[in-house]
Each structure stands twice: as structure tokens, then as C-alpha cells.
Amino acid sequence: SSLERSAVVNVREDILQRWRDKHRGSPIPSITELRTRMDTPLLENEKIPLSQMRLNVLLSNEPQDVLTLEQANALFRSSDSEYAKELEIISLAAASTSPPPLNGTEDSYHMFWDDNIRKVVQIIVPSGKAIWNSNKHTATGILRPDFGFILDDHCPFRGEEKGPLNDEDPRAELSQKLRWDYGSVPYVLGYYCSGTRLTYVAILRPEQANREPQIQDLGTVDLSTRVGRITNMRWLINLSPLVEVLSDSSETGHIRVLSSGYNCTIELTGHHVIKRYTCSDALQRIEHLKNVYHWLTEMRVPNTDSVYRTSDVVIVLHPRGHRERPQTEKELLEAVRCVLEVLKAIHPVLFHRDICWPNVIRSKDDRSKWFLTEWEHAAEAPTKALPHFASHSHSPRVFQDGHRGEVDIWGVGHLIAESGVKGLSSELHQIGVWMKEQSPSAQEAWVKLEQFAAQHDRRIAAKHV
């Protein structure tokens, strides 16, 4: 009756909030504490309510897949007065759905893994976004984790998945594909699985930069049984709140997907920049970039990124640095020097034409080094106007045919003028203005900057005498 239905209370949000609030405000646990936390039994009010009838349907006395009421109670509780429909749908789908056959392909397991892992994490951390490595483009195949959970540009939870007949090592791939980009966070979370055998891990911060991170196993579960799948959900309920904490504690983004505005999506991974073109002239654009980067390599031009691999509509570039601005005059000098070194090498044959701070990237390995990226609009003479460029950030000459290196020098001057460095000396600011107004050659600009840098160094040395 309607009276009976109205007496049944929806407790979905209450339960989700209890899951999310577990250990809120407590520090990131040690590995030992993490193992204990993962395997902690759920409190009664943290369990998913099921009607007795639904609970009975879930139980099994099949010899290979026994599930007793006591085992089911690890995740569920019997209640005819409460319900949590979405949690019920997700948990019952995972608990009651058998895996594909042992001789099944990896593709046949993807929905099974999705039901047991991604859907559980996603409902607890709804602000996160799942990405998969579909291998659709061979250029990206070995760069991305098989599964990644992205939160505020970080990937605090990732997984490597193999079908039961695949003899590759998913555990090794977890560290091979990850370049540590999380600052001082002690670890991030992950998993690896072969068929139904699933192991959760902590991926530890390397003691030395550029080393592969170590993997610490937390626990292994067999998803071929109802008991195993229920245990897995309980573990994920206990682990998932930590995903947000790890993301919030990380210092820089690891994986990021954005649009460049040129019918191109850009994905930033730990090591690489993946550009995927969605326009009708994708082939021509990639061919242009390949030619430019080939020339840069042949001419041994310093301080640029380079091509890692390509396919029809994808180009993968490396290295990936940090997109940030200099904070001090010293850092600004280092960045501008690096850009001028590029221009001395490419002028008067090639012109970059899009020099601005988003395209000047700081090296991860040597923070005194910066490199020039985004060679989309690089061109030889005679050049054509670029009417779609923003007038506030580009030389007026770039909007006219026949421009040359002066547009790049203007861009370098603008880097100085718009750097935002606090306490910028008037001398350096004036050098920026001079570059924009007088259009010196790259060599002349370099000499002027080096003279200033030498005076700057002498002044600093004198202060310490």
C-alpha cells in the first residue's frame, strides 16, 4: 500500500556520507595502517540495506560459489524499512554477476572489471573522471594506464588489467607507466589484475627523481566468487575516501585532458603530451608538425620538445614539463635565455610565431631549463598573416603577410613585460620594451640580455661581500 511505501526511508545519501567521512581529517595512513583500514569491517549503519527477499536471492549454495548469510552481511543488512536504490543496483550487479569464462578475451572482461571497480569508486567520489586506455591509437598504447581515475588533474588511483590468457605483467606496468608527479605524497593507490585475480597496491614515492616507483601489495582477492566480489566492494568502500585526500595533497597534475581551441584535444600524461586532432585537415597538420620537428632535430635546436611517436590523427610529444611562470627575476632570465637560444638557432629560416607563456614550459628534470613548445604555426618565409591570433598577446606584424623574426622577438619582449614577477627591475622591463619596439635580431637581443645578466650577477655578488 502507499502507506507502507511511504514508511520505507531512502538512506542512500546517509550511507554515502558515512563512507566518505570515514577517517576525514586524519593524516595519510602508513602502509601498515592502510592495510588495516582497507580490511576494516563495515559498521552496521554503513552497510547497504536489502529486503530479506533480495538478500535471499543473492545467497548461494553452489559448491564452487557458496555465499552464506553471514558472508553477505559483510556488505549488506536486511531491512524492509530502508532502501538505497542506486547502491543496491551497483552492489547487486557486482556481487551476483559471474565473470566471463577463463578462456575469455581481455575485452570480454572490461565490463566485469568496470562493474566491480570503477562503478564503486565513482559513486563514492563522483567528482572524479574515469579514463581507459582503449589502445585505439597505437601512438598512445604504452603511455596511459589501462584504467585511471582523474581528480583535479591528478591520477591518485590507477590500474593495469590483463585477460586470463595474457602472460604480460600488469604489476610491472604500474610502475613503468608512472612518472612520479605528486610532490611529497608518500604513495598513490592502484591495482593490477589478471582475469579475476585482483590485487590492490600502494605505489610508493621514489626516493630519487626519475626512478621507477616501488609497488607495495595491500591485498589480493578472487573476483570469481560472490564472497570475493563482496570483499572487494568492502575494500573499495574503505579505500575510496583516500583517493580525494591523495589528490588534494598532490602538488602538480599528472594526467589532464583539455582542448586547445584548434580542433585538437591535448592529454598530459606523466611523461608525454598527446595531441589528438578532430579536424578535417588532421593529416596535414600532423605532417606539418612532423616536418617542423624533424628540421629542429636535424639542426640540433636546443630547448624544444620533440616527437615521440605519431599515428594518423595523433602526435605524441615529449618531454612533458611544468606549465608555470617564473616567480623571480633569476627564473625569468633563465626562461628568456632558453627561448632566445631557440630563436638564434631557427632564425632566419623558421619563425615560431606563437611565443607566449603557455607555450614556454619548465623542465621537470632541471628547473633552470625551459623549452619552447606548440610549433603548430611555425612557418618559413614568405609568411601569411594569422588573423585568428589574439592582438593583446601577439605582435601587430603577425596580422600582416610577410612578417619574419620580429614577431618572435616581440613575443620574447612580451614574456618579460607580462611575466608578473614581483619586484622586476626597471632595467629588465625596459629590455622587454626595447625588444617589442625596436625588433632587434635574436643575437642582438641575446647580447643585451647577457650584458644585463652579468651586471645583475655582479650586483648580487656585491651584496654578499
Q: How confident is the model at residue 2 (pLDDT cuts 50, 70, 90)?
A: very low
pLDDT at 160 > cutoff 60:
yes
Q: Answer yes or no: do 385 and 345 share one domain.
A: yes
DSSP string computed for 177-191? T----STT-SEEEEE
Q: 100 — phi, psi (to 5°)?
A: -60, 170
Q: Answer yes or no: do 100 and 119 share one domain.
A: yes
Structure confidence at residue 210 (pLDDT): 67
Q: Answer yes or no: do 261 and 243 share one domain.
A: no
Looking at per-residue pLDDT, the higher value among 221 and 175 belongs to: 221
Q: What's the rounded mean pLDDT across residues 389-407? A: 94
241 is a domain residue: yes
Q: How confident is the model at residue 252 (pLDDT cuts 50, 70, 90)?
A: low
Structure confidence at residue 342 (pLDDT): 98
Q: Answer yes or no: do 305 and 212 share one domain.
A: no
Q: What's the rounded mean pLDDT across residues 26-51? A: 96
263-272, 401-410, 413-422: the lowest-pLDDT one: 263-272
pLDDT at 3 > cutoff 70:
no
Q: Answer yes or no: do 165 and 195 share one domain.
A: yes
Q: What's the rounded mean pLDDT across residues 359-367? A: 87
Q: Answer yes or no: do 63 and 125 share one domain.
A: yes
Q: What's the rounded mean pLDDT across residues 81-86? A: 94
Tens of pLDDT, residue by residue over 408-444, are 999 999 999 999 899 999 999 999 999 999 999 999 9
Q: Which residues contact 326 (CB under 8 A, 6 or more apart)?
A: 332, 334, 335, 419, 421
pLDDT at 322 > cutoff 90:
no
Q: Answer yes or no: do 65 and 87 share one domain.
A: yes
pLDDT at 137 > cutoff 50:
no
Q: Answer yes or no: do 288 and 376 share one domain.
A: no
Q: Answer yes or no: do 243 and 352 share one domain.
A: no
What's the total number of domains in the chain? 3
Averaged confidence pLDDT in the chain: 89
Q: Which domain holds residue 404?
A: 329-463
Closest to 322 in 3D by CA, of 366, 266, 265, 374: 366
Tens of pLDDT, residue by residue over 55-68, are 999 999 889 999 99
99 is a domain residue: yes
24-28, 40-44, 146-150, 270-274: the lowest-pLDDT one: 270-274
121 is a domain residue: yes
Q: How confident is the model at residue 251 (pLDDT cuts 50, 70, 90)?
A: low
Q: Can you read off the three cell numbers belonging to residue 151? A: 581528480
Q: What's the rounded mean pLDDT across residues 94-115? A: 91
Q: Answer yes or no: do 91 and 215 share one domain.
A: yes
Q: How confident is the model at residue 138 (pLDDT cuts 50, 70, 90)?
A: very low
The CATH number assigned to the domain holding 305 equals: 3.30.200.20
Structure confidence at residue 321 (pLDDT): 82
pLDDT at 11 > cutoff 90:
yes
323 is a domain residue: no
Domain end position, chosen among 234, 249, 264: 249
Q: What's the rounded mean pLDDT across residues 360-384? A: 92
pLDDT at 119 > cutoff 60:
yes
324 is a domain residue: no
pLDDT at 254 > cutoff 60:
no
108 is a domain residue: yes
Domain end position, chosen among 318, 341, 363: 318
Structure confidence at residue 278 (pLDDT): 82
In this structure, are residues 253 and 140 in contact, taking their beta carbons and an 8 Å threshold? no
Looking at per-residue pLDDT, the higher value among 142 and 446 belongs to: 446
Pair type for strands 154-162 and 187-194 = parallel
Q: Answer yes or no: do 178 and 288 share one domain.
A: no
Indicate the pTM of the whole model: 0.63
Q: 267 — phi, psi (to 5°)?
A: -115, 125
pLDDT at 139 > cutoff 70:
no
Q: What's the rounded mean pLDDT across residues 159-165? A: 92
The CATH number assigned to the domain holding 351 equals: 1.10.510.10
In this structure, are residues 247 and 181 in contact, taking their beta carbons and an 8 Å threshold? no
pLDDT at 144 > cutoff 70:
yes
In this structure, are residues 203 and 190 in contact, taking their beta carbons and an 8 Å threshold? yes
